[in-house]
């Protein structure tokens, strides 16, 4: 049976690499230490429950949601294994 240029494990390795990159990116975004009592963008009070749940919090829920919506992580690699994805 012809397998072409890629063995079956290569696809799984590509998927694992993509997931690992995303996890590493998320870990780099986490803040540590003591958080703020008021949002650094709009100066709204940050509830104590949020400060306990998110260590190092600096933004209120509204500002954080706006920032998350605007943040786009570009994918620098085409990790799909088929030729059609490379032609798009």
- pLDDT one-digit tens code per residue, 51-88: 988 888 999 999 999 988 887 766 666 555 555 555 55
Domain that holds residue 39: 31-71
Of the listed ranges 8-12, 16-20, 37-41, the one predicted with least confidence: 8-12
Residue 24: inside a domain, yes or no? no
Residue 39: inside a domain, yes or no? yes
Task: Give, for 12, the enclosing helix (H) or strand (E).
Answer: helix 8-29
Are residues 77 and 55 in contact, defined by beta-carbon separation less than 8 angstroms? no
pLDDT value at residue 5: 59
- The Cα 60–Cα 39 span in angstroms is 5
Residue 17: inside a domain, yes or no? no
Residue 35: inside a domain, yes or no? yes
pLDDT value at residue 48: 92
Residue 85: inside a domain, yes or no? no
Is residue 1 predicted with pLDDT exceeding 50?
A: no
Residue 4: inside a domain, yes or no? no
Q: What is the pTM of this model?
A: 0.51
Domains: count for the chain:
1
- The Cα 25–Cα 22 span in angstroms is 5
* CA separation, residue 5 to residues 8, 13, 15, 42 (Å): 10, 15, 17, 54
Residue 45: inside a domain, yes or no? yes
Residue 53: inside a domain, yes or no? yes
pLDDT tens-digit series, residues 21-47: 989 988 887 777 788 999 999 999 999
């Amino acid at each position: 049976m012809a397998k072409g240029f890629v063995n079956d494990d290569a696809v799984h390795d590509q998927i694992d690499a993509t997931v690992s990159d995303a996890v590493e990116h998320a870990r780099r975004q986490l803040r540590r230490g003591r958080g703020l009592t008021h949002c650094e963008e709009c100066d709204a009070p940050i509830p104590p429950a949020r400060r306990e749940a998110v260590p190092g919090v600096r933004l209120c829920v509204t500002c954080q949601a706006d920032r998350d919506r605007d943040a786009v992580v570009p994918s620098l690699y085409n990790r799909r294994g088929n030729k059609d994805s490379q032609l798009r």
